[in-house]
Amino acid sequence: MTAHLDEISPVAGAGELGILPVRVRLGIESFGVNAYTALAHGGRVIEEHDELGTGAGRHEELYFVARGHAVFTLDGEDVDAPAGTFVFVSDPKVRRGAIGLGEGTTVLVVGGVPGKAFRASPWEAWLEASPHLEAGEPERGIEIFERTLAAYPGNPNVLYNLACFEALAGRADDALDHLAEAVEADPRTREWAQTDADFDAIRSDPRFPPA
């Protein structure tokens, strides 16, 4: 199977970046791989993160600048990375991110945990489910989150996103239950929920987590 970068529709990520779901598009199950593109000059191409969060997979990650020019920041140290540059981050604790110096800067990311069979990171359920929401099929997205929750029981990242989709699908009771579980597991989700438009339909419910 083949696919060109330009044939993979990006999913909107945090800030001004797009995520190209390479692994999902090609059906890859043995390793993690996606691409990220800057949607504006000087915009984010890799969100600042480490691999220890509730949505992360604790992967070591290899970044390859396929197009454009990026500047990575690794634990506060800047690394210049023009097209053709590899950047390898083995330690999941390292805070990493990158800015694209030109619109369209694209970075391919490959990841996995040494010595372990690959499992997709919990956050990738959102990447797989988002197109169904855009197509007006939130129930199909819910199925993806439910499947991921079975693999990662109690994961607050998955619970939160599942609640988002359930609220948008009109399943208020399910959404409130799963949101409550997410808040209990990770108090940060309470703050996220206060301004998340996905919950507008259930925000006035007395069971909605207060600020």
Q: Is residue 57 part of a domain?
A: yes
Share of the chain above pLDDT 90, in %: 83
Q: Is residue 208 part of a domain?
A: no
Question: Greatest CA span in the chain, whole angstroms?
Answer: 54
Q: Is residue 207 part of a domain?
A: no
Q: Is residue 119 part of a domain?
A: no
End-of-domain residue from the set 90, 112, 134: 112
Across 20-24, 78-82, 164-168, 175-179, least confident range: 20-24
For residues 82 and 59, state if they share a domain. yes
Mean pLDDT of 184-197: 96
Task: Please list the residues that pair with 74 across neighbouring strands.
Answer: 77, 96
Would you state the pLDDT for residue 56? 83
Across 78-92, 123-137, 195-209, least confident range: 123-137
Would you state the pLDDT for residue 154? 96
Segment 7-30, tens digit of pLDDT: 998 887 656 789 999 999 999 999
Mean pLDDT of 76-86: 98
Would you state the pLDDT for residue 15? 63
Would you state the pLDDT for residue 44? 93
Higher-scoring residue by pLDDT: 17, 82? 82
Tell how far CA 181 is from the center of its chain. 20
Q: How many structural domains are present in the chain?
A: 2
pLDDT tops 80 at residue 82: yes
For residues 62 and 34, state if they share a domain. yes
Q: Is residue 72 part of a domain?
A: yes
For residues 146 and 107, state if they share a domain. no
Q: Looking at residue 146, which CATH number applies to its domain?
A: 1.25.40.10
Mean per-residue pLDDT of the chain: 94
For residues 13 and 105, state if they share a domain. yes
Place of tokens 């992967």: 59
For residues 100 and 152, state if they share a domain. no
Would you state the pLDDT for residue 67? 96
> 85 exposed, middle or buried (CB, 10 Å; 0-12, 13-18, 19+)?
middle
Residue type, 53: G
For residues 130 and 54, state if they share a domain. no
Residue 147 structure tokens: 């499947």
> 79 exposed, middle or buried (CB, 10 Å; 0-12, 13-18, 19+)?
middle
Query: Strands (DSSP E) along 68-135, which ranges?
Result: 69-74, 77-82, 86-89, 96-100, 106-112
For residues 128 and 188, state if they share a domain. yes
Segment 66-75, tens digit of pLDDT: 999 999 999 9
> 50 exposed, middle or buried (CB, 10 Å; 0-12, 13-18, 19+)?
middle
Higher-scoring residue by pLDDT: 182, 41? 182
For residues 129 and 108, state if they share a domain. no
Q: Looking at residue 76, which CATH number applies to its domain?
A: 2.60.120.10
For residues 130 and 167, state if they share a domain. yes
Residue 86 structure tokens: 């590899």
Q: Is residue 211 part of a domain?
A: no
Q: Is residue 205 part of a domain?
A: no
Would you state the pLDDT for residue 102? 84
End-of-domain residue from the set 82, 112, 142: 112
For residues 100 and 18, state if they share a domain. yes
Mean pLDDT of 144-172: 97
| Residue 169 structural domain | 124-199
Cα–Cα distance measured from residue 169 to residue 183, given in angstroms and rounded to the nearest whole number:
20
Segment 98-118, tens digit of pLDDT: 999 988 999 999 999 999 999
The count of residues in the chain is 211
Share of the chain above pLDDT 70, in %: 99
End-of-domain residue from the set 79, 112, 145: 112
Would you state the pLDDT for residue 1? 87
pLDDT bin (cut points 50, 70, 90) of residue 39 is confident
Q: Is residue 117 part of a domain?
A: no
